[in-house]
Structure 1
Amino acid sequence: MTEMIPPLIDHIHLRSVHLDEAMAFYQAIFESLGRGSEVRSGRDWLEIGSFYLDQADADTPPSRIHLAFTARSRAEVEAFHAAGLKAGGNDNGGPGLRDYHPGYYAAYLCDPDGNNIEAKFDERVA
């Protein structure tokens, strides 16, 4: 039996100050790539596959990037967090279950440039 290796990147989440313009831009480029029918959007968000865009505001200012990597276990999430702290990252949410959906186990670090980097283990697909 061959072991299935999950993708390295789980999702990308961007926050925009100029959301209307950003949504129009992303819709246009996804259309040009033949993927426009896959885009879902609401009043203040746009999503396609593993890409998510929403509105920046006073509580959630624009981010350079939120990048989530797939982990294969809780232990990998914990190792990610420890190694990142040791390598100079700043804690942005220690390892633990999140309320995004059942079985979402993640940890967050800010890299030296302030980007929000996540490791996520989804217990629903383990």
Structure 2
Amino acid sequence: METMELHRGRLIDHVQLVVRDVPASRRFYDAVFKSLKVPLGGTLDDGAFWYDELFVSNAKSEAAQGELTGRNHLAFQAADRAMVDAFHQAALAAGGSDNGAPGERPYHPGYYAAFVLDPDGNNIEAVYHGEAKRSAPSVKVTF
């Protein structure tokens, strides 16, 4: 059996978005995650794909049970303000719609974020919380 390695945070194990047009979503999320320096996790024969904890499929997938997901808000971590800016530019160039240009937000001092709508209308955010020290870039799980 091949060893598999996952990187996980603390709260969410995974999120599934069920979309109308998987190729359009793939172009969008490929651009978004390239700007955030997150590698593609993998793909399935039906075109479904995943990046870390985000799995994207169409309504024919077994887990979707024939239903599209509703509007969601997903926020992805950025390493700095420049990465938030790059995310916003990449998302717009890949078919996203502006939902809030990069800038400071009132949530807490140093909260710098940008928002875009993906091809299915999900509100996608990249956020930099300001200078912070991490104990590790991610939790590494090997099995």
Task: Using structure 1 for the length normalisation, give the TM-score.
Answer: 0.50
Task: Using structure 2 for the length normalisation, give the TM-score.
Answer: 0.44
